[in-house]
Structure 1
Amino acid sequence: MYAIIDLETTGGQPAQDRITEIAIYIHDGEKVVDEFSTLLNPGRPIPFFITQLTGITDDMVRDAPKFHEVARRIVEITEGCVFVAHNVRFDYSFLKKEFADLGYNYSRKTLCTVRLSRSLMPGQPSYSLGKLCQNIGIPLNDRHRATGDAAATAILFGRLLKISQQEEALQAPGLSPAETLAAVDANAPSGRRPAAGTTSAATKQPSARKIKAVQEAIRTALLPPNITPEKVASLPQEAGVYYFHDEQGEVIYVGKSINIYKRIQQHFAVDYKSRKSIEFKNSISDITWELTGSELVALLYESHEIKRLKPLYNRAQRRSVFPAGIFLRTDENGYKHLYYGRADDHAQSHPLIALGNQYKAKGFLFHKVAKFNLCQKLCDLYKTTGSCFDYQVHRCKGACIGLEPAEEYNQRVEAAIESFTYEHGSFVITGPGRRPDEKSIVVVENGRYLGFGYVDDTFTARRLPDFVDAITRYNDNKDVQQIIRQYLRTKHKDKVKIFKNAG
């Protein structure tokens, strides 16, 4: 049994929006045998643009039941049914959230008619419900109303069942040509039926047999419509960077994992909480990957690729230019000064840490001043010829007017620097490669990330330049600095070789 469901809602976010209408058609594999539909009072105003789309107004739902009043009926009518919808994750996520708010875990197997349509009717110009129905001649009345959309989906589902039966008849073993033709004709538009006494797998009741395409659609309901189980099965269970592509081949998302297969399975198993996230999943048409062997290299390469490609659905790490930073200088009295500024204003000096803009750099430095009890004046945060403000309120020990010895003050400066730079200035991290006979190397020189590369097991080097010659250069920035610092603090198994700072 199948419960074909469509919802109308106050918006696209299951976490915050509510259902305004629900329609359910129970399909036994041959025809609709039961139905339920009602408007619902969402308990909040319906946005104007939603009313424009659906025609459902606040007045229409004012006296309608609230969800909890029909929840039992929904559970009962869908009990033992497969939850079927066009873009099923959207409707299913909304219902699960409504039930979760009532303290009930609503769980059903799901089937997406978008995915099933792509499988059984390839080559359609569009698989949106409206355009698909128009292209294949399914009447769609009351578009963007739950009853109209659900009724059209029920007709579409019935047609998909027939197509699946026909394809299985053509593939059924042991059938004579006459039997095969009769099996296909049993569901042909011409109305022809098989000859008397002729039986085949395709002429049995759909409810009494397993239709392979439908069963496969249920099994793979969590996958994006354009991604096959074979594609997922081909994913490597190794460390690397993976790419989601849209139908035009454009990269729309870059990710990384120590096990690409498991991570992508997790992507597809999640309940999506917004229309945008559902659109993201439905737009995935291909998956490619690059193996890295090393978890650290996967992290670094992912960051590089996000900045290079700027994929639509990667929000973090898209910045590729870091024009500001924190710098260090020492004055004539021996005091170390941390200060912020534009990177291009200090071309002869590399920043201790690169940041997105001067506003962020200033805020970052204020935080370090407070945490390590540094002097605002010596950090260029308080312009004065005398003592800084913090000295007046007893938070500064007087370095600004020479009362605190430079040696004591500089120790706190070094502690602050250590909190956002590496423990050692120049080092090489050696980890696993992409093959058993290969090693990965990541090089940092004088506090700057230079890049990574791969060498074979016979590679030997004693000097830092030998390692530098073996890598591909990549840009240093705040994100990769943080990646390396955090990775070194984990219980990793990589080897770290330390060098005296060059230059």
Structure 2
Amino acid sequence: MLPCYVLLDLETTGGNPVHDRITEVAAVRIEGGQEVARWSTLVNPGTSISSFIQNLTGISNAMVADAPGFDEVAPHLLALLEGAVLVAHNVRFDHGFLLNEFNRLGVALRVKTLCTVRLSRQLYPQHRGHGLDAIMQRHGLTTSARHRAMGDVDVVLDWLGMASRELGADQISNHALTLLQGSAALPPQLETPVGDIPESAGVYLFFGEGPLPLYIGKSVKMRSRVMSHFQAAGRVAREMRIAQEIRRIEWIETAGELGALLLEARLVKEKQPIYNRQLRRENALCAWRLSDNPQARPLLSLVRGDELQPHQFGRLFGIYRSKRQALDSLRELADAHALCPQALGLESGTGRCFAHQIGRCKGVCCTEEKPELHYLRLQLALGQQQLQVWPHPGKIGLREYDRHNGRTDIHVFDQWCHLATVHDDAELEEALTSTSAVAFDLDTYRLLVKHLSLPAKSASTELIRFAPA
């Protein structure tokens, strides 16, 4: 199949390579088509093996009690792997555990990998199942040591021999070499050819068995970013879970990073993928509105929902994802600047507030500080949180252009809201004349504030000002 490879299998205490540990290793080294070394050992994982895993593998806590730890077997395993390709059925699993075990020893494992699940999919595309049990049933293979490391290694060896006789050794070798050119890190059940994903800006969507995406991401180099998810699966628990569940990938190209960011934020809110922890739908956004009257009590009122209008942003401060977050932020501000919690509406009652009694309020609540001075200090304290007023007389466009594929996107905005992304004159005309209301979105606001603050020379887009209607 390959000039030199080590067919390996591990048994472990669980499926997470970051937290679980190895309990058994088996490896067979093949050079020039001939077996030159065979080795297996139990490994003391340094932790208890659950009853479920004991029943699955037959490896008990008593069996590994006197076994060597991984630090003791590591030198022999490294010697076996020297100059060879690591081959395993679902190689990401075994490779991930080895990476973490060697990392604990301060050793950086560098070895090429080949997945025989993916090889099976290449050789037998007419079949749906390519797990070890499916292969055994399809080809009539048997073993008395299923879920033991050497038993599973021997099953894969038998299958490779049978496939070579059925299809020819050259075909096996050609497919193995093709997979070795960088695709071995991919999840074996992935149906989408990663090579089809363009190395350009856009948004990618990971899907499992169902119609809703597992995860939505963006990048200016989508193919590389997608590959980085799978390469991290051996050390990041979330990436491992995604890699275990993913079945297919879809993608949408954009002309640049701004378009990708806007599209990602919109799709995440629409589709609510389970592995996106940020950019969620926001139904509870709120901000503080400052009264015009220094004598008013309270000086601040909470604005939320439909009342959160961009044309009022000159009087609004801080956008928060919940009322609790808004109150916590205001309490911190009051404490840091010796502001009166009674005047701010954080404390009920009359007379001296509690903060004044402990020396943390300058006394506007008991006439020791003039309301106008307290009001000025509050304005200064809130200054950095003031929402920005829309700086244009009407709608604007930001044009992005990808010189590699010639794609042009024009993103149309008004009052910090993303109205549309258009590609021709008809779409632009519709966006400029539409009167449909667009909900304010915090992520779009922050993205646009940051983008518009960039110097013209460093911005990746061209600003277009449209005449007010």
- TM-score scaled by structure 2? 0.81
- In structure 1, distance between residues paired with 2:265 and 2:168: 48
Of stretches 301-310 and 263-272 in structure 1, the one that deviates more from structure 2 is 263-272
SS in 2 for 1:378: helix
- In structure 1, distance between residues paired with 2:234 and 2:82: 23
Displacement after TM superposition at 1:146 (Å): 1.8
- In structure 1, distance between residues paired with 2:377 and 2:240: 50
Task: Return the match for 1:433 from 400, 409, 415.
Answer: 400
- In structure 2, distance between residues paired with 1:161 and 1:483: 56
Identical positions, percent:
32
Structure 2: tracts of 5 or more residues without a match: none
Q: 1:414 to 1:442 in 2, by over 3 A?
A: farther
Q: Which amino acid aligns with 1:432?
A: R
SS in 2 for 1:11: coil
Aligned to 1:454: 422
SS in 2 for 1:13: coil
Aligned to 2:72: 69
Structure 1: tracts of 5 or more residues without a match: 169-205
Displacement after TM superposition at 1:111 (Å): 0.3
Aligned to 1:311: 273
Task: Return the match for 1:103 from 76, 101, 106.
Answer: 106
Aligned to 1:423: 388
Q: 1:77 to 1:460 in 2, by over 3 A?
A: closer
Aligned to 1:83: 86
Aligned to 1:117: 120
SS in 1 for 2:324: helix
Of stretches 307-316 and 37-46 in structure 1, the one that deviates more from structure 2 is 307-316
Aligned to 1:43: 46
Q: Which amino acid aligns with 1:107?
A: R
- In structure 2, distance between residues paired with 1:56 and 1:472: 65
SS in 1 for 2:350: coil
SS in 2 for 1:433: strand
1:168-213 Cα deviation digits (max 9, x unpaired): 4xxxxxxxxxxxxxxxxxxxxxxxxxxxxxxxxxxxxx9xxxx210
- TM-score scaled by structure 1? 0.76
Task: Return the match for 1:225 from 156, 163, 188.
Answer: 188
Displacement after TM superposition at 1:85 (Å): 1.1
CA contact (8 A) 1:124 1:132 kept: no
Displacement after TM superposition at 1:38 (Å): 1.0
Question: Which structure 2 residues correspond to residues 295-334 of structure 1 after superposition, within 5 A?
Answer: 295-317=257-279, 319-330=280-291, 332-334=293-295
- In structure 2, distance between residues paired with 1:347 and 1:476: 8
1:369 aligned onto 2:334:
yes
SS in 2 for 1:386: coil
- In structure 2, distance between residues paired with 1:496 and 1:410: 38
SS in 1 for 2:389: coil
Question: Which structure 2 residues correspond to residues 242-391 of structure 1 after superposition, within 5 A?
Answer: 242-246=204-208, 250-273=212-235, 277-317=239-279, 319-330=280-291, 332-334=293-295, 337-340=299-302, 343=305, 355-371=320-336, 373-391=338-356
CA contact (8 A) 2:30 2:36 kept: yes
Displacement after TM superposition at 1:137 (Å): 1.8
Q: 1:473 to 1:438 in 2, by over 3 A?
A: farther
- In structure 1, distance between residues paired with 2:303 and 2:55: 51
Q: 1:272 to 1:339 in 2, by over 3 A?
A: farther
Q: Which amino acid aligns with 1:116?
A: L
Displacement after TM superposition at 1:163 (Å): 5.2
SS in 1 for 2:18: coil
SS in 2 for 1:244: strand
SS in 2 for 1:50: helix
SS in 2 for 1:242: strand
1:289-341 Cα deviation digits (max 9, x unpaired): 22332423321221111121122332332x32422523314175455733447
- In structure 1, distance between residues paired with 2:337 and 2:447: 23
SS in 1 for 2:343: coil
CA contact (8 A) 1:353 1:421 kept: yes
RMSD between superposed Cα atoms in Å: 3.9
Displacement after TM superposition at 1:426 (Å): 4.6
Displacement after TM superposition at 1:254 (Å): 1.1
Displacement after TM superposition at 1:8 (Å): 1.6
Of stretches 430-439 and 278-287 in structure 1, the one that deviates more from structure 2 is 430-439
Displacement after TM superposition at 1:39 (Å): 0.9
Q: 1:153 to 1:392 in 2, by over 3 A?
A: farther
SS in 1 for 2:286: strand
Aligned to 1:189: none
- In structure 2, distance between residues paired with 1:373 and 1:341: 24
- In structure 1, distance between residues paired with 2:434 and 2:205: 26
Number of aligned residue pairs: give it: 451
SS in 2 for 1:84: strand
- In structure 1, distance between residues paired with 2:160 and 2:463: 59
Aligned to 1:181: none
- In structure 2, distance between residues paired with 1:273 and 1:343: 41
- In structure 1, distance between residues paired with 2:370 and 2:432: 40
Displacement after TM superposition at 1:51 (Å): 2.4
- In structure 2, distance between residues paired with 1:344 and 1:429: 23
Aligned to 1:4: 7
CA contact (8 A) 2:233 2:243 kept: no
1:193-243 Cα deviation digits (max 9, x unpaired): xxxxxxxxxxxxx9xxxx2101012112123335589x4444333322222
- In structure 2, distance between residues paired with 1:490 and 1:53: 58
Of stretches 346-355 and 8-17 in structure 1, the one that deviates more from structure 2 is 346-355
Aligned to 1:394: 359
Q: Which amino acid aligns with 2:26?
A: A
Of stretches 70-79 and 7-16 in structure 1, the one that deviates more from structure 2 is 7-16
Aligned to 1:214: 176
Q: 1:106 to 1:163 in 2, by over 3 A?
A: farther
Displacement after TM superposition at 1:283 (Å): 4.2
SS in 1 for 2:45: coil
SS in 2 for 1:394: coil
- In structure 1, distance between residues paired with 2:56 and 2:236: 18
Task: Return the match for 2:152 from 149, 169, 176.
Answer: 149
- In structure 2, distance between residues paired with 1:437 and 1:22: 52
